[in-house]
Amino acid sequence: MLKKKIISAMNQLKVLRLFETRMKRRLRVLMYHRFSKEKHPHRISAAEFERQLKYLKRYARVITIDEAIDGLTGKKRLPDFSTVITIDDGYRDSYEIAYPILRKLGLPATMYVVSSFMEGKAWLWTDKARYVTEHTNADRVETSVGSRRFSIPLSDSGSRLDAASMLNEALKQMSNDDKEIALEKLADDLGVHLPETPPAEYSGFNAAEAAEMGTNGITIGSHTISHPLMNRITAREQESEAKESRRRLAELTGLEISHFCYPNGSFDDGARLAVRNAGYRSAVSSDFGYCRREDDLDLLPRIPAEDDMLAFLQNYTGLEGVKRSTRRLLRGGSA
């Protein structure tokens, strides 16, 4: 039985490597968010992250975001299997867990940071719903977000995380001001006091730590001032979020800030214009895909990482992209 499992795994790897070779000239931009020391349902464990990086070190060419942009613009040759590692938001676990593993293996990465979050002035708004559902004594969420009414049971840690995800999806549709009002109402409905600044579990790394990483293989990029959905704010706010976050991050860290990431992958034409006018070299979205030279540099697709090696390899090697294309063709054929 063990021998059969080993043969099956080896055959799967051979198939995945064939897809990876087929896509060897496409740039891959990997997208990570949060990390944990042990296994966690919504984070990449330290052991899995190291396992994935060891695979990349062996089979890929991990490069900086600047080297990638030079390759996409024809300034330099883009090596086969070129890969960029990106990490969003700027949580403490990026510094405490991901950064030491990157240094150990000698691999570069880009971390997109929310400037007010790095300063310790603000939460990432998505964490407020997680904090409330985690700390309430209620056994059910009974609340409304905008026009939507929610009644969600809270039985264990998994159901509490799921409830927060459902609430955040509804909150994404709201303006910044309405979103904060809705979060305050949620906390009140569930009897939870929201601290003014995020507790340790939801805090970010600071400017000194960002500067340290910036001199040790990590490119620091902007993820706005306050992590709004860029397609849900005014043109003036878009301009401020793009321009002022770049200025503030550079001021705090002493680093050059040349790359941008749209929060939650949300953008519109105004957001893209604000990013271009702010002078960034590139901007990444959350759209699934592999980068080509003809792609717009202010809207580069990425590949989501997974806390499962097989899922990671399916995404990374191109198999998942083929599956998605096939599903689109079949849907189109049946229409």
Query: How confident is the model over 5-16, as a mean pLDDT?
Result: 49
Higher pLDDT, 103 or 2: 103
Residues 6+ apart with CB under 8 A from 329: none
pLDDT at position 255: 98
Distance CA 129, CA 290 (A): 32
Nearest-5° Cα angle at 327, 325 to 329: 70
Residues 149-189 pLDDT 10s: 999 999 998 899 999 999 999 999 888 889 999 999 999 99
233-258 burial by CB neighbour count: b if 16+ within 10 A, else e?
beeebbbbbbbebbebbbebbebebb
φ/ψ (deg, to 5) at 305: -80, 160
Query: How confident is the model over 227-254, as a mean pLDDT?
Result: 96
pTM score > 0.95 for this model?
A: no
Listed as own residue / partner, the contacts of 14-19 with beta carbons closer than 8 Å and 24 or more positions apart are: 15/319, 16/313, 16/314, 16/317, 16/319, 17/59, 17/317, 19/317, 19/318, 19/319, 19/322
Which secondary structure element, helix H or strand E, spans residue 82, and what is its range?
strand 82-89
Residues 84-136 pLDDT 10s: 999 999 999 999 999 999 999 999 999 999 999 999 999 999 999 999 999 99
For residue 232, pLDDT over 50 is answered with: yes
